């Protein structure tokens, strides 16, 4: 799974940069103007039936969808930033030095000592039981 993450990151190249608004074009309308169904076109757009500036009439639902996509992308970016922060925290934790009693070599010796103690307790119990049954006879 980690390999897939590394491959995906390597294909990504540079990180995405949010585009900034472009400079105004010649003959561009100075501001956004609402056009309503059944209403005459505003005088800022049309004079004597002729357009006075360049503009695009975007359907309201399309603009609503674009705004929703923008909000989604901002929220997804926040979620991914949280994921990246968690991964960085995990990586920092893995880079931290291991305490002496958590090292594999020490854990093996602790396990060996536990086994010896257990064998000693079992052998002692068997010896006591044997001695008591031998005395009873």
pLDDT of residue 1: 53
pLDDT (0 to 100) of residue 9 = 54
User: Where do the DSSP E strands lie in the chain?
Assistant: 46-47, 50-51
Could you tell me the mean pLDDT of each successive run of 10 residues in the chain, 137 residues long?
54 68 84 87 86 86 91 89 88 87 93 97 95 81
Predicted local confidence at residue 3, as pLDDT: 53
Task: Please compute, for residue 11, the number of CA atoms within 13 A of its CA located in the half-sphere on the CB side.
Answer: 6
**For the chain, domain boundaries:** 59-96, 99-137
pTM value? 0.44
Cβ atoms of 29 and 47 closer than 8 Å: no
């Amino acid at each position: 799974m980690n390999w897939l993450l590394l491959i995906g990151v390597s294909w990504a190249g540079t990180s995405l940069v949010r585009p900034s608004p472009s400079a105004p074009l010649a003959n561009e309308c100075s501001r956004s103007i609402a056009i309503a169904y059944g209403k005459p076109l505003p005088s800022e757009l049309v004079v004597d039936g002729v357009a006075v500036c360049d503009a695009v009439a975007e359907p309201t639902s399309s603009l609503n969808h674009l705004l929703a996509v923008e909000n989604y992308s901002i929220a997804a970016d926040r979620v991914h930033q949280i994921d990246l922060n968690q991964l960085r925290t995990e990586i920092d934790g893995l880079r931290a030095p291991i305490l002496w009693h958590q090292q594999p070599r020490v854990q093996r010796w602790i396990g060996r000592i536990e086994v010896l103690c257990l064998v000693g307790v079992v052998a002692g119990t068997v010896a006591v039981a044997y001695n008591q049954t031998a005395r009873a006879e």
